[in-house]
């Protein structure tokens, strides 16, 4: 413990000695307040200087919000939402979160389950008539054990690659052409975006609402996520632009209209509100949420994926849930230490591994001890 605290002190000292004019954050708190964000708070100042150093040394362009016990400990942004226009990021800038979107899809399904409108053991063919494989269940989609081929690839040969593609059209292609599965359903785990595309379509077919409208009415608004939405070519809103390093704009493609696996645009403060709402028991019950956080067991093998969240256990009875995502220049990472009640959400609109390489330091600062979170970087990025 003593060596760890010395290390934290060294980081604090070294980054605070960095040249102040080499980096400038864009933090504009507006009406956001928190009891911990004071100039004399050591933890807040350590996180602040650490992320200033991150931006200086990695060209990080994005934002972060950190909370503990439901209160914001640190929040900041740096860089540009639109590089050409020199439009800087703010705490209220909307950005794409890629596969972090999957947790909203999972919650939508679990809400319908709680209402008795579907069973997780139901075959998906019940809700997607004509689907080729009658043995694939909703639960297999949730925990990525369906064996289905990835639509990101097989749709290339059945579309013009220009006209925006919809979830129903993905299902129609699968019904018409039956792309070869990677393995028989339920045999093993294989992370695949197709699973969550079909889940979003099931939400539509069961609720009789467009998936975007369902999420807005039943998830975003009840959670206080007033600036969150799902992307559509037909209802574009102002948001940060995604870039390939250093400043090449990542252009939209025909697959951007597909939802469930990606597509959610949100803000730092909205993600903070989501984190609080999720654990309130008002979005889904505590018991069902706990079920979603349990690792899957596939043919006797424990897999660190539940229902929309990846899972890692450390020590005994200590657990982290997390999910990463990337799409069209954006990278995002959501991590929650359930034991220490600490949450981190970090994103960049210039694709960089800096998002995935620095979460452990933040968790260690907030826990006050050097815990080693052995999470594979490839898991963080998907």
E-strand stretches of 58-177: 62-68, 71-78, 80-82, 87-88, 95-96
> Do 198 and 126 meet the contact criterion of CB atoms below 8 Å apart?
no
With respect to residue 278, please indicate whether it lies within any of the assigned structural domains.
Answer: yes
Q: For residue 241, which of 353, 83, 19 has the smallest C-alpha distance? A: 83
- What is the predicted pLDDT for the residue at 293? 95
Question: What secondary structure letter does DSSP report for 315?
Answer: T
With respect to residue 16, please indicate whether it lies within any of the assigned structural domains.
Answer: no
Q: Give the integer Cα–Cα distance in Å for 229 and 278.
A: 17
Q: For residue 74, which of 86, 65, 82, 62 has the smallest C-alpha distance? A: 65
With respect to residue 73, please indicate whether it lies within any of the assigned structural domains.
Answer: no
Q: Give the integer Cα–Cα distance in Å for 236 and 186.
A: 38
Q: Give the integer Cα–Cα distance in Å for 360 and 352.
A: 16
Q: Give the integer Cα–Cα distance in Å for 217 and 238.
A: 21
With respect to residue 68, please indicate whether it lies within any of the assigned structural domains.
Answer: no
Beta bridge partners of 305: 310
- What is the predicted pLDDT for the residue at 341? 87
Contacts of 365 (CB under 8 A, 6+ apart): 8, 43, 46, 47, 50
CB atoms within 10 A of CB 244: 13
With respect to residue 1, please indicate whether it lies within any of the assigned structural domains.
Answer: no
Tokens of 342: 């600490």
Split into its structural domains, the chain has a count of: 1
With respect to residue 272, please indicate whether it lies within any of the assigned structural domains.
Answer: yes
Q: Give the integer Cα–Cα distance in Å for 176 and 44.
A: 55
Q: How far, in Å, are 264, 277, 367 from residue 102 at the CA level?
A: 9, 17, 27
With respect to residue 71, please indicate whether it lies within any of the assigned structural domains.
Answer: no
Q: Give the integer Cα–Cα distance in Å for 204 and 16.
A: 51
Q: Give the integer Cα–Cα distance in Å for 381 and 97.
A: 11
- What is the predicted pLDDT for the residue at 288? 97
Q: For residue 343, which of 265, 274, 267, 261 has the smallest C-alpha distance? A: 274
* Cis amide leading into 38 (omega within 30): no
- What is the predicted pLDDT for the residue at 285? 97
The two beta strands, 310-314 and 318-327, are antiparallel
CATH code of 147's domain: 3.40.710.10
Contacts of 51 (CB under 8 A, 6+ apart): 60, 64, 74, 76, 78
Q: Give the integer Cα–Cα distance in Å for 315 and 18.
A: 36
Q: Which domain holds residue 330?
A: 95-380
With respect to residue 9, please indicate whether it lies within any of the assigned structural domains.
Answer: no
Per-residue pLDDT of the chain (382 residues; tens, 9 = 90+): 434 333 334 333 333 343 333 334 555 433 333 333 433 366 777 777 777 777 777 778 999 998 989 999 889 898 999 999 999 999 999 999 999 999 999 999 999 999 999 999 999 999 999 999 999 999 999 999 999 999 999 999 999 999 999 999 999 999 999 999 999 999 999 999 999 999 999 999 999 999 999 999 999 999 999 999 999 998 889 999 999 988 999 999 999 999 999 999 999 999 999 999 999 999 999 999 999 999 999 988 999 999 999 998 776 677 889 898 988 889 998 989 898 888 989 899 988 766 666 666 666 666 665 555 555 555 555 6
Question: What secondary structure letter does DSSP report for 324?
Answer: E
> Do 161 and 254 meet the contact criterion of CB atoms below 8 Å apart?
yes
- For 357, phi and psi rounded to 5 degrees? -90, -5
**Which helix (H) or strand (E) is 123 found in, with range?**
none
């Amino acid at each position: 413990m003593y060596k760890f605290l010395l290390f934290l002190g060294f980081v604090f000292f070294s980054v605070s000695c960095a040249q102040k004019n080499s980096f400038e954050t864009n933090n504009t708190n507006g009406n956001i307040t928190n009891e911990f964000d004071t100039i004399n708070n050591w933890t807040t100042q350590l996180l602040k200087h650490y992320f200033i150093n991150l931006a200086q040394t990695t060209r990080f362009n994005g934002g972060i919000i950190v909370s503990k016990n439901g209160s914001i400990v640190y929040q900041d942004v740096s860089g540009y939402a639109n590089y050409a226009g020199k439009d800087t990021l703010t705490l209220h800038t909307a950005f794409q979160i890629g596969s972090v979107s999957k947790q909203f899809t999972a919650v939508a399904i679990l809400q319908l389950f709680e209402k008795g409108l579907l069973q997780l053991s139901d075959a998906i063919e019940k809700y997607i008539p004509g689907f080729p494989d009658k043995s694939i269940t909703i639960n297999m989609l949730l925990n990525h054990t369906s064996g289905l081929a990835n639509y990101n690839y097989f749709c290339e040969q059945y579309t013009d690659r220009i006209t925006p593609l919809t979830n129903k059209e993905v299902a129609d292609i699968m019904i018409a052409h039956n792309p070869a599965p990677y393995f028989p359903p339920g045999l093993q785990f294989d992370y695949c975006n197709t699973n969550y595309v079909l889940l979003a379509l099931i939400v539509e077919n069961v609720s009789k609402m467009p998936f975007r409208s369902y999420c807005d009415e039943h998830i975003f608004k009840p959670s206080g996520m007033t600036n969150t939405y799902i992307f559509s070519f037909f209802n574009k809103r102002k948001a940060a632009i995604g870039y390939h390093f250093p400043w090449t704009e990542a252009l939209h493609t025909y697959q951007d209209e597909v939802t469930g696996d990606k597509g959610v645009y949100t803000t730092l403060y909205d993600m903070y509100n989501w984190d609080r709402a999720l654990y309130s028991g008002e979005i889904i019950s505590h018991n069902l949420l706990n079920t979603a956080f349990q690792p899957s067991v596939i043919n006797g093998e424990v897999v660190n994926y539940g229902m929309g969240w990846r899972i890692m256990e450390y020590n005994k009875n200590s657990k982290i849930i997390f999910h990463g995502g990337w799409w069209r220049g954006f990278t995002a990472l959501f991590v929650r230490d359930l034991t220490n009640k600490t949450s981190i959400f970090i994103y960049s609109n210039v694709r960089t591994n800096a998002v995935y390489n620095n979460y452990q330091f933040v968790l260690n600062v907030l826990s006050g001890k050097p815990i080693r979170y052995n999470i594979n970087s490839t898991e963080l990025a998907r």
